[in-house]
Amino acid sequence: MGEAAGAVEAEPVDEAAGVLEPWEVFRQEKDGDPMRHGGSVMAPDATLAVHYAREMYGRRQESVHLWVVRRADIHDLADPDLLQPPLDRSFKKPGGYVMREKLAAAREASGQQKPRANKGDR
């Protein structure tokens, strides 16, 4: 046991006993893949939630990594005012820059041909 005051373990958060709640399961199919939502399990605590997740989403070796998160701990953001404001954000996207006509004008002005197979131009 460490002597420093900081080494004292914080009291575990009192999880309500006897209450089943949903836990969301995220799974990684193979190394390097993103974690994707798989589904959910009902459990009274993290230990059982992880156990159920393993049974439901890993028993066929179809996952290399699982995340199990209490549904109530997920912070949800779906506010369209924040995520989909009615403003032109095309300057933040490659598709927002269409210069075909300006390029054609530039070539015409300089007497150049259109280069072949230059995929960078739009």
Site of interaction with other proteins (CB under 8 A): 12, 14-15, 17-20, 22, 38-42, 44-45, 48, 52, 55-56, 59-60, 78-80, 83-90
- Nearest approach in angstroms of CB 31 to other proteins is 20
- Nearest approach in angstroms of CB 104 to other proteins is 26
C-beta closer to other proteins: residue 9 or 31: 9
- Nearest approach in angstroms of CB 20 to other proteins is 7
C-beta closer to other proteins: residue 22 or 103: 22
- Nearest approach in angstroms of CB 61 to other proteins is 12
Q: What is the dihedral of CA 119, 100, 107, 102, to 10 degrees?
A: -140
C-beta closer to other proteins: residue 26 or 40: 40
C-beta closer to other proteins: residue 73 or 88: 88
Residue type, 74: I
